[in-house]
Amino acid sequence: MPGTNIPQHVPQDLVRNFLSSHQDAMERDPFTALRYVYEGEGQDIFFDPLGARLTQPHLPGAWVLTRNADIREVLQDPVLFSSKGITGFSKLLGQDWDLIPVELDPPEHAKFRAIMNPLFSPKRINELEHDIRECASHLVRKAAQRKDCDFNEAFGRPLPVTIFVRLMGLPMEEFDTFMRWEDMVLHSMDMNVRHEGAVEIHNYLKELIAKRKLQPVDDLVSFAVKAEIDGQKLTDDEIMGICFLLFVGGLDTVAASLAFTFKYLAENPEARQRLINEPDLVASAVEEILRTHSVVVTNRIVTQDTTFRDIKMKQGDCVVCYTALGSMDPKEFENTQELILDRSPNRHLAFSTGPHRCLGSHLARREMQIAIKVWLKTIPDFWIPEGAEIKAHGGIFGLDSLPLCWD
């Protein structure tokens, strides 16, 4: 129950039942709903009794940061704000391994980051450009044979998932199964369903890792199997930690961001036209769409009793960082509610900051840029059918479906 899940050291005047009182608004449009945190006399940092319900349901609520500067400071200070256990996935399985590198703190984190950085470097992404373009063209040509589609099914999911499935060395025929597991672990509010999804992914990856150990090929799972740190091969838990994170981090984030991108484009014909006339604007438009639709919510665990911005936090407290709040703070962004296609500078936090800054950001950006250019070339005019009800989900923010139509 909201209001009852509050540790003793949290003063009553810092408690705000934000999530429970904005649940309906969050389902309609999480980014509009989140703006309510800046309304009224609210504190910059408050304690939400439901604050960490997705990843840390065992904790009594969490501190919520609302300011870009505070979120940056926390994300850039892994000594005071640890990432250990932040996703809760291995705990969900009754096990104790880290998702790598996202649940590691320095100095271990840097060792893994160093071996993983080249996998998603700008050079590597340039090599993938042709495949991304070809896949996007194929999907949009197929969609254009009809006059309507659910964007998620026809384009938004298959594009990043096809590229990712190839990189991971997973069989394309099992696309639907992967998406079902992904929905279970990332979007269900039922812990049993999340557990079941995590077990399926874990078992599947375990088998695949064993196969690649016997016969490595040119894919990310084989990379993890062959990788060495300080002359030592990775342990089975480390290999699983890398593969599990790539599986849950790489499949859903771009698809979710594309859904919000195309909802915005469907609702804003003048923006579509501008991007068609000025294709060089697409790169900055993607940054601005990522700013106004930052889909990831992450958190950190306080490592020792401390005072942060005059607030007493205790060791073990959870601090929730909505990257969306870091990206929409009116103290940081002028006219923050406006989506300005050529906004510059644009210090959004969609990809986080600090040591855990997103490893896949170059890939994500390139996929989004190509998706916009290729779709607008084939289907320049499109809209959401009248009366369509569009619902959003949490975990990673996304849209359940996005019906689109065109002439």
Distance spanning both ends of the chain, measured CA to CA? 49
Whether the Cβ atoms of residue 324 and residue 34 lie closer than 8 Å to each other: yes
Beta carbons of 186 and 395 less than 8 angstroms apart: yes
Span interacting with ligand HEM, options 64-72, 134-142, 227-235, 354-362, rule CB under 6 A: 354-362
154 binds ligand HEM (CB under 6 A): no
Interaction between residue 282 and ligand HEM (CB under 6 A) = no
* CA-wise closest residue to 63 among 303, 309, 313, 349: 313
- Is 352 one of the binding residues for ligand HEM (CB under 6 A)? yes
Question: Is 51 a binder of ligand HEM (CB under 6 A)?
Answer: no
**56 forms part of the interface with ligand HEM (CB under 6 A):** no
User: 217 near 360, Cβ under 8 Å?
Assistant: no
Q: Closest by alpha carbon to 54, among 193, 208, 209?
A: 193
Nearer to ligand HEM, 117 or 235 (CB): 117
- The answer to the question of residue 402 lying near ligand HEM (CB under 6 A) is no
Can you read off the two tokens belonging to residue 93? 């399985």
For residues 282 and 276, is the Cβ–Cβ distance under 8 A? Answer: no
345 HSE (CA, 13 A, CB side): 4
With left for phi above 0 and alpha for psi between -120 and 50, is residue 111 left, alpha or beta?
Answer: alpha
- In contact, 371 and 155? CB cutoff 8 Å: yes
What is the sign of the dihedral through the CA atoms of 233, 235, 238 and 244?
positive
Region near ligand HEM per CB under 6 A, out of 27-35, 210-218, 228-236, 349-357: 349-357
Residue 325 makes CB contacts below 8 A (sequence gap 6+) with 34, 37, 64, 65, 66, 67, 68, 71
State which of positions 103-122 bind ligand HEM (CB under 6 A).
113
Q: In this chain, which stretch among 36-44, 180-188, 196-204, 348-356 interacts with ligand HEM, using CB under 6 A?
A: 348-356
Name the residue nearer to ligand HEM (CB basis): 52 or 102: 102
Report d(CA 274, CA 21) in Å as an integer: 38
Residues 301 to 340 in contact with ligand HEM, rule: CB under 6 A: 323
CB of 168 to ligand HEM, least distance (A): 9
Q: Three-state DSSP class for 63?
A: strand
Stretch that binds ligand HEM, among 265-273, 311-319, 350-358, 371-379 (CB under 6 A): 350-358
Question: Which of 62, 125, 275, 350 touches ligand HEM (CB under 6 A)?
Answer: 350
Nearest of 258, 93, 294 to residue 185 by alpha carbon? 93
**298 touching ligand HEM, by CB under 6 A:** yes
Residue closest to ligand HEM (Cβ): 360
Amino acid at residue number 67: R
Q: Does 292 bind ligand HEM (CB under 6 A)?
A: no
- CB-wise, 10 or 74, nearer to ligand HEM? 74
363 touches ligand HEM (CB under 6 A): yes
Q: Which stretch binds ligand HEM (CB under 6 A): 41-49, 174-182, 267-275, 294-302?
A: 294-302
Query: Binding to ligand HEM by residue 50, rule CB under 6 A?
Result: no
Q: How many beta carbons lie within 10 A of that of residue 91, not counting itself?
A: 16
Considering the complex, state which of residue 49 and residue 249 has its C-beta at the smaller distance from ligand HEM.
Answer: 249
Q: Is 68 in the site for ligand HEM (CB under 6 A)?
A: no
Using the rule CB under 6 A, is 78 a contact of ligand HEM? Answer: no
Element (H, E) at 307: strand 306-308
101 binds ligand HEM (CB under 6 A): yes
Among 245, 286, 319, 376, binds ligand HEM (CB under 6 A): 245
Residue 37 parent element (H or E): none
Binding site for ligand HEM (CB under 6 A): 75, 83, 101-102, 113, 164, 245-246, 249-250, 253-254, 257, 295-296, 298, 323, 350-352, 356, 358-360, 363-364
